[in-house]
Amino acid sequence: MRLLLIPHEGVDLTTTFFASETSREILRFYRPEKMPYGMSIRVVSLGVALSLAAELRWYLRRYVALTLFEMAPGHSCTLAYAHAIEQRAVDPDQPPDHRFFIGFPDGRPVITEGPDGTLEVWALPGEVIQVR
């Protein structure tokens, strides 16, 4: 499982997170990987990913356009959907009706209409995602 962080345009998350003593301390047990679209952090479970996202909440609100939880390669979910999985409100093995697809042409995330995107993102009904 991975926590995927897609930053606001013009933000280098690696530099931002490691410039701050607080975020460096939070990430000291993880090995964040710089990706063309942002940052990826490998974790052992959904609970750990949600806990890490909660600890980084201030940074996520300020510097991150989209926080995703990669359940399997090419298959991710939103923060709200991850919370719903944790609370057993949705079945993590059944695809929801509400899905987005994100492509990364030129390393920049773009929401696509259909499954031509690189990444399938599961979301709760009515949930809207934006990549700025």
List pLDDT tens digits, range 86-132: 999 999 888 888 888 888 777 778 887 666 667 889 999 988 887 76
Q: Binning pLDDT at 50, 70 and 90, where does residue 40 land? A: very high
C-alpha triplet 8, 11, 12: angle, nearest 5°: 130
Indicate whether 68 pLDDT > 80.
Answer: yes
Q: Binning pLDDT at 50, 70 and 90, where does residue 21 land? A: very high
- pLDDT higher at 102 or 79: 79
pLDDT for 78: 95
Whether the full predicted model's pTM is greater than 0.75, yes or no, is yes
pLDDT for 128: 84
121 with 102: CB under 8 angstroms? Answer: yes
pLDDT for 116: 67
Instruction: Collapse the DSSP code of 129 into the 3-class scheme (helix H, G, I; strand E, B; otherwise coil) and give the result.
Output: coil
Over residues 14-18, mean pLDDT = 94
Long-range CB pairs of 72-78, under 8 A, 24+ apart, other chains included: 74/118, 74/119, 74/120, 75/119, 75/120, 75/122, 76/4, 76/119, 76/120, 76/121, 76/122, 77/121, 77/122, 77/123, 78/121, 78/122, 78/123, 78/124, 78/127, 78/129
Q: What percent of the chain has pLDDT over 70?
A: 95
pLDDT for 129: 82
What's the farthest any 2 CA atoms get from each other in the chain? 41
Over residues 35-40, mean pLDDT = 90
